[in-house]
Amino acid sequence: MPPISIDPLFAEVAEILKEYPNPIHVEGFTDDQYISTDEFPSNWELSAARAASIVRILELNGVEPHRMAAVGFGEYQPVRDNGTEDGRRINRRAVIVVSRDRKTQRVVAAFGSQQVSEDAVSSVLVEDRATPADMERVETEDGKVIFRRKVPRNELEVDRLTQPITTPVETEQ
C-alpha cells in the first residue's frame, strides 16, 4: 500500500465532515486499462485501495472510523469514454458520499451512488415510514436525476459541503 500523506484538501474536507454524525461511504473507480501487479492484481484492488486510502486520510484527520466505509467498483462504472486519455483520467476517481441515515447508506453500498434508482429510494422510504411527498426529484447540472428529502433530518451546511475548496498552490520563486 502506498504511504498515506495528509493532503490539505482532504484535511479541509475532514474538518467539515467530522462535525456531523452522518455515515460516509467512499467509492473508488478506475479506468479500463489492464493492471496486474503484486500490489494491485486487478482494477478491483486498485479501486478499493483508492477508496480505502481516502477513508484512512479522513480518519487521520479526526473523522470517526465507525461512520465510514470504502468500496471499489473497478472499471465497471465509467462516467466518460475510456477510449481517450482524458476520459480515462476522469474515470480514475473517488466519490465521497455523505448519507443522511443508515438505510440510505445501505442502498448506496449495494448499488453505488451513481446507480441508485427511484425503486431503491422508494424502498428506503417505505422502510423509513416517510412518504413520497417527503422527497423531491432534482436534476443536476449534468442532466442526472437525484432524489433527496425536502427537509433533511440532519441539517448539514449543504452550501459549505458542495462548494469547491480552494487550496493555495505554493510556487517556487
- CA distance readout (Å), 17 to 25, 58, 96, 107, 164: 12, 9, 11, 21, 15
More confident residue, 74 or 139: 74
Higher-pLDDT residue of 39 and 140 is: 39
* For the chain, domain boundaries: 1-100
User: pLDDT at residue 158 above 70?
Assistant: no
Write the CATH number of the domain with boundaries 1-100.
3.30.1330.60
What's the mean pLDDT in 63-92? 95
d(Cα 172, Cα 125) in Å, to the nearest integer? 54
| Rounded Cα–Cα distance for residues 10 and 54 (Å) | 8
Q: State the chain's mean pLDDT as an integer.
A: 76
Q: Which grid cell sits at 6? A: 495528509
Confirm if 97 and 161 have CB atoms less than 8 A apart: no
In percent, how much of the chain has pLDDT > 90? 48
Q: What is the mean pLDDT of residues 18-44?
A: 95
